[in-house]
Amino acid sequence: MKNKKFYAHIFLRNGKAVTDFKDKKLFAGGNAVQLAEDYEKAGADGLILFDLSKKDEEHETNLGRIREISRAVHIPLIGGGHIERMEDVKKLIYAGCSQVFLNMSKAENIRLLPEVSKRFGKEKMAVCINEFMSLSEDAEHLAKHASMALLFGDSRHIYEAVNCLGLESIPFFADADDDRLAALLKLERVIGVSGKLISDPETNLSGLRVRMASRGVPMSSFESAMKWSEFKLGPDGLLPVVVQDCENNQVLMVAYMNEEAFAQTLLTGKMTYYSRSRKELWQKGATSGHYQFLRQLSVDCDNDTLLAKVVQVGAACHTGNRSCFYRDIASSAYEKRSRDSVFEDVMQVILDRQKNPKEGSYTSYLFDKGLDKILKKLGEEATEIVIAAKNPDPEEIKYEIGDFLYHMMVLMAEKGLSWDDITDELAKR
């Protein structure tokens, strides 16, 4: 049985978080991005985003907010609402949604489903169902073109729908009873749950996760290929953990785990350690808010040290520095350069020229002339690459590609895009 997940949900109206489908009352002050960040820190495994817009202008505002949310959090987004054509599905995917759901109470969405499934892939398509009367007739059609279903309704009908559908499902669960929730999660096709309980800021999701695990529900965020007994521990029974930023490979800190800290890290997905001085468990960020979300856990060749690649929120060091290793005590002269930093360093110069024009600067000249000039130069450089590619000397094409990349970065700056936007998009493909 797969590990089960908790999905918080956010209703978006004109870029603001609201309480429900009908009510325009703001939820958590209306700040949807902050709300998404809070859900991630609380332990939500994913977010379901409902675009409640009625007009295209409001729809674009909500898409912009979804894009902001996708940049702010590192958990999967499932988005839907205001879908009338294939273009709306594409926009949600481009905004950062790993899956898009179509409301099956709309006949036009039922007809649209096969088309978007073929275009974007069945794995990216989900359906939202709150009418179960004809479900047995539609089940084959839905299973053919979608990979997951969001289910709304009372407990009895949701059970029937899960059993009828050949799809993985996320029911919206209203009842706060632990035993009923555990029974629902134990259904094979239920991959997780959402609803008021999960999305209530007062709900302790870590505690709920532990309670579900105690009832036999597989709730770990991660599964380890090794048992604790297979590690070689130090004389104190602890295992050292080197912690590394998963995005730029910066070493952040070193800490220690005992068996309980290891188990809690796997269960919650948040790095938990054992304090040798205080003789107790501590979860990174529990007091400071500087959480570490686990992305990968590796073991060295001797089975005596772990390497944790994490998403670091804020600073890893208690001094306020990003890394605990911020003081050099010995070094030799070497060029501190990486492929990532070169692109970012050049982009920073371009952004500075955009913000602070400098006389005689070619970059400032391009921004001054505007988008058409930038596009003209980009087209010219693309043509130069094609011509250089016919030349057997690789030095020429190397030079032309460099020119093209520079002009492309100017265009990125003009359109407000960063390298993070580009690499995030490539990572989704």
Distance (Å, rounded) from C-alpha 106 to C-alpha 113?
A: 11
Distance (Å, rounded) from C-alpha 58 to C-alpha 186?
A: 39
Q: Residues 119, 113: contact at Cβ < 8 Å?
A: no
CB atoms inside a 10 Å sphere around CB 172: 21
Give the pLDDT confidence score for residue 336 in this predicted structure. Answer: 57
Partners of 190 in the β-ladder: 169
Residue ranges of the chain whose pLDDT lies below 50:
none
Give the pLDDT confidence score for residue 138 in this predicted structure. Answer: 76
pTM tops 0.85, yes or no: no
The distance from CA 45 to its chain's CA centroid, rounded to whole angstroms, is 9
Distance (Å, rounded) from C-alpha 393 to C-alpha 385?
A: 12
Of 1.10.287.1080, 3.60.21.70, 3.30.1490.20, 3.40.50.2300, the CATH number of 339-427 is 1.10.287.1080
Kind and range of the H or E element at 266?
helix 259-268
The residue ranges of every structural domain in the chain are 5-214, 228-312, 339-427
CATH number of 5-214: 3.20.20.70
Helix axes 394-414, 339-355, angle to 10 degrees: 50
CATH class of segment(s) 228-312: alpha beta
